[in-house]
Amino acid sequence: MKKEGSCLKNLPSWAVVRYSYINEYFENKPFTAKDVENLFSKLVTEKKLEHIGSIKEFLAILKREGCIKVIKSALDEKYVQYQLLESELSKGDLFTVLKQGADLIRLGLDYRSLLVFLFYKAISDKYEDEVNQIIKDEGLSKKEAYIVANSKFKMYDENTGELLTWNEITKKNDYLVEFQNALIKFATLNPETISKDLMIALLNKLGISNLTSEHKAKLDQIKRLFDKLDFSNVNYDAIGDAYMYILAQFAPTKGKEGEVYTPHEVIKLLIRLIDPEPGSDILDPAMGSGAMLIEAYKYIKEKNGGVKLFGQEYNPDMAAIAKLNFILHGIENNLVEVQIGDSLRKLKFSENSQFQVDYVVANPPWNQDGYGEESIGNDISLRKIFKYGFTPNNTADWAWVQLMLYYAKKKVGVVLDQGALSREGKERTIRERIVNEDLIEAIILLPEKLFYNTQVSGIIMILNKEKEKERKGKILFIDATDLYIKHPEVRKLNKLDDEHIQQIVETYREFKTVLSFSRVVDIEEIIKNDYNLNVSYYVTKHANNNSVSIKEIEELWDNIEEIMEEREEKERELEETIRIMVSENE
């Protein structure tokens, strides 16, 4: 019986995308061609697929490659029953183990340790599976098979004869030290995948070799959890999702510490708004973990197209996290370029003077200080980028917008603090010049409590250098503040669901006015409002009555419970810290 991972190897990209949907929707349940047709019809309606395609051809390919089996025949092909052939490690099982690991990490360990463990165990398992397959198919010795398998990732040092896989390294006595050495050696052997400097920066941040005995014991428990997992037949999409799951697990805590994490549904919305076509190149100058670029890659992949990705990140350790993220999502090295540095002072891709991309996307740090004219105005090369004016020194929001506009040939999609829409002074001057050049196409006001590091509403702004004729001289304002559900895992947060995303995207694509939700506004009206772009100026909410809704009562009660839970969490953290301090001093 072929497992999921091996069956996907030979599928065309369009079939892989469709397979992922039937895997998600049907799992272990029987299904028919008619069921698949109904599912794909729904996905086309939701804009997740371009067209239904040939169901018969699709199922024939899956059957040929061992991804499905017939469990009940029928005279009419539409009613033949199929079932997926499961992989040894389901996505649900994987997430369960990662949740256990996350619980162990929370007190005293850096969450990125979990990411590094996932990365190294996954690529090791896939490497060893490849080696075994080569030996079976070609009859080579192990050493010969290692050399052949090195074509994707080099995990065998041909000069020293050292094997760097998880199973080989973790069986050694002082395996944590050996593990770090192996990661550095991996980077040395695979510089096109991740540089040695980046890997060292990440490992220094983790400080694995300097952990207390208490924390080493916790890390050993996590290592044992990963020992149980076999990633050899798990596809890269599932592993990539697992990596993103870890990032999301720790986003509430890291958000309080100032680390920026963009909720996946906000990223999903932004990418669908800019709607990049196959063959596009896309830049994120505030890359973080690389999530926006990955979503863009997946979106274009669903259209059966290719893409070139560019990302720059200020923090080397976060850039390393992004590089690992790209690898675990199966993105080839030649499709993504990463640079380290301060994008507002120097976008390193621009060393090629002709550098521009089709689309630029980002959720840059909000209200970032230190980028006023007094700080960067003396650099002549920056004046052409910030041609609409320098921002005040205490907020760089419109500096980011100008940087993104400068390098975009088509569209910009940016997430900002809504204060950027109405602040006076230098920012008002910049807004005036950009509005007068008719570059802003749409502004979407998001619900409050979507982001982990702030309770306030953010906005998505779409700027378009190629506005269609009927959109010229106009801006679409969308008030999406009522489009949310309560977050299923983090009590104090809200979340956009797929229906909300679809509603916003459809309104944008149709560029239409909807009562209490959206309005197409002529630039003349914005000028009369002194270039204030606050969404509430243009979209009026029509309330039915003044009564308090059940939803408002529920939210008030949730807020009370949040305060109580946060207090209990702080008490638990204090008790654990005291316990560790006492045990270390005994």
What per-residue confidence (pLDDT) applies to 98?
82
Highest mean pLDDT among 6-10, 249-253, 364-368: 364-368
Provide the CB-side half-sphere exposure for 464 (13 A, CA). 20
Provide the CB-side half-sphere exposure for 267 (13 A, CA). 23
| Residue 361 near residue 412 (C-beta atoms within 8 A) | yes
Domain ranges for the chain:
4-84, 91-234, 262-537, 551-586
| Residue 174 near residue 208 (C-beta atoms within 8 A) | no
Is residue 394's pLDDT more than 90? yes
Candidates 3.40.640.10, 1.10.3720.10, 1.10.10.10, 3.40.50.1240; correct CATH number of 4-84? 1.10.10.10
The model's pLDDT over 499-547, given as tens digits with 9 standing for 90+, comes to: 999 999 999 999 999 999 999 999 999 999 999 999 999 999 876 555 5
What per-residue confidence (pLDDT) applies to 217?
79
Q: Provide the 8-state DSSP code for 50.
A: S
Residue 1: pLDDT band with limits 50, 70, 90:
very low
Nearest by Cα to 413 from 364, 360, 457, 476: 360
Q: Which residue has the tokens 């999609």?
A: 413
Is residue 279's pLDDT more than 50? yes
- The pair of three-digit structure tokens given for residue 480, joined into one six-digit string: 């999406």
Helix (H, G, I), strand (E, B) or coil at 286: coil
Average pLDDT over residues 405-429: 97
Tell me which long-range contacts 163-170 makes (C-beta under 8 A, separation of at least 24).
164/124, 164/189, 165/124, 165/127, 165/128, 166/120, 166/121, 166/124, 166/125, 166/226, 167/124, 167/128, 170/223, 170/227
What per-residue confidence (pLDDT) applies to 576?
64
Helices and strands in the chain, H and E counts:
22, 15
CB under 8 Å to 193, separation ≥6 — which residues?
153, 187, 323, 327, 333
Is residue 285's pLDDT more than 80? yes
Distance between CA atoms of residues 43 and 21, nearest Å = 9
Is residue 551's pLDDT more than 60? no
The model's pLDDT over 127-162, given as tens digits with 9 standing for 90+, comes to: 999 999 999 999 999 999 999 999 989 999 999 999
Distance between CA atoms of residues 155 and 162, nearest Å = 8
What per-residue confidence (pLDDT) applies to 5?
43
Q: Which residue has the tokens 């197209």?
A: 305
Tally Cβ neighbours within 10 Å of residue 208: 20
| Residue 99 near residue 489 (C-beta atoms within 8 A) | no
What per-residue confidence (pLDDT) applies to 569?
67
Average pLDDT over residues 437-464: 93
| Residue 243 near residue 444 (C-beta atoms within 8 A) | no
Of residues 313 and 254, which shows the higher confidence score?
313
Residue 274: pLDDT band with limits 50, 70, 90:
very high
Q: Does domain 262-537 have CATH number 3.40.50.150?
A: yes
The model's pLDDT over 160-172, given as tens digits with 9 standing for 90+, comes to: 999 999 999 998 8
Give this prediction's pTM: 0.78
CB under 8 Å to 52, separation ≥6 — which residues?
37, 40, 41, 44
Residue 4: pLDDT band with limits 50, 70, 90:
very low
Return mean pLDDT, the chain. Answer: 87
Distance between CA atoms of residues 203 and 136, nearest Å = 37
What per-residue confidence (pLDDT) applies to 546?
52
Percent pLDDT > 90 in the chain is 57
